[in-house]
Amino acid sequence: MHEMSYVVRMVNLAQKTVENELAKDAAPFRVKKIVVQVGEMTGVIPMYLHRYYPEAVKGTYLEESELETEDLPAMVHCLDCDTEYHPGTENNYSCPNCNSIQGKVVQGRDVLLKEVVLEDL
């Protein structure tokens, strides 16, 4: 159920983006959608983000918007040979270039607000 906290955080970030646009005296607009990237290693299930989104946006600038989610694959940087790779069973979670298991995760641990799509009225 930690997906609800992620949805609330994404809605709050998107709200701040919208408020910044409003402060610029921009032409009237509405929020069409927000795009959220879900890292492969987060344990977050996008289906639940979609389920909780309508409730989280009630009474906000995002109320009529849609949520779009994108999968963000895990990427590891090999500390031995500088190769970036996707860890998986096909390479035993080790570097496919040098077989090292010494790596640093550089992508796939986060849930990120990628985009707030606005539409002129």
pLDDT at 22: 86
Q: Which pLDDT tens digit goes with each residue over 33-90?
A: 999 999 999 999 999 999 999 999 999 999 999 999 999 999 999 999 999 999 999 9
List domains and CATH numbers for the chain.
3-73+108-120 (3.30.2320.50)
Contacts of 12 (CB under 8 A, 6+ apart): none
CA distances from 74 to 70, 83, 87, 106 (A): 13, 14, 7, 8
